[in-house]
Chain A
Amino acid sequence: DAKTTQPNSMESNEEEPVHLPCNHSTISGTDYIHWYRQLPSQGPEYVIHGLTSNVNNRMASLAIAEDRKSSTLILHRATLRDAAVYYCIPGPNTGFQKLVFGTGTRLLVSP
């Protein structure tokens, strides 16, 4: 899997948008970009994934750079429940694939 670089932590206020960046400059052409988050004392939770085009779902949006060497997870209106560690995980989406979690970004949300 490609190496990733994410900020150790970020802070946001409730109701504000949050942009969580991830650099994955060694990503291969067929690798997807998956994002997971882990809330305190819970297992990881799938958030979103994409290949080339920007993606939206009920949880978040994923903006993928044109060269695919970076991506940004966008939470449109942060809530206290969004406080978690966010991980970006590039890699193939077929064949056996264990998830390799890096250190991620710890998001702190203030009321």
Chain B
Amino acid sequence: GAGVSQSPSNKVTEKGKDVELRCDPISGHTALYWYRQRLGQGLEFLIYFQGNSAPDKSGLPSDRFSAERTGESVSTLTIQRTQQEDSAVYLCASSLPDRVKTQYFGPGTRLLVL
């Protein structure tokens, strides 16, 4: 079946602009996660959704970052007033609610802020 998809695959933007990153999880996966990976570094957890609610937003690095999920499906990560340090690969993953450590990752969105 279809895996997790993310769009766009690459995004180049200018400092100060807003960007929206999209994630389509595997059908039936009610848990959805956003992570960030800077070049040469490990994954950083950003936010988790269970259904449409986000019980854990602790990883969002600043109030410029926000995320929403609708219809227990698509999620959008929005970064306002992008900064150069936001340059990274943004990864989305989804899982079944009873298998929360078996997460399936999308290919990521490579964001470059100039």
Contacts and interface: CB of A to CB of B under 8 A. Distances in A.
Nearest to B58: A98
A93 B100 contact: yes
Interface SS of B by simple majority:
strand
A111 interface: no
A102 interface: yes
Contacts, number: 59
Contacts of B33: 98-99
Contacts of A97: 100-101
B56 A92 contact: no
B42 A102 contact: yes
Interface string A20-56: 0000000000001010000000111110010000000
A63 to B, nearest CB: 19
Interface of A: 32, 34, 42-46, 49, 89, 91-103
Interface of B: 31, 33, 35, 42-43, 45, 48, 50, 55-56, 59, 89, 91, 93, 98-108
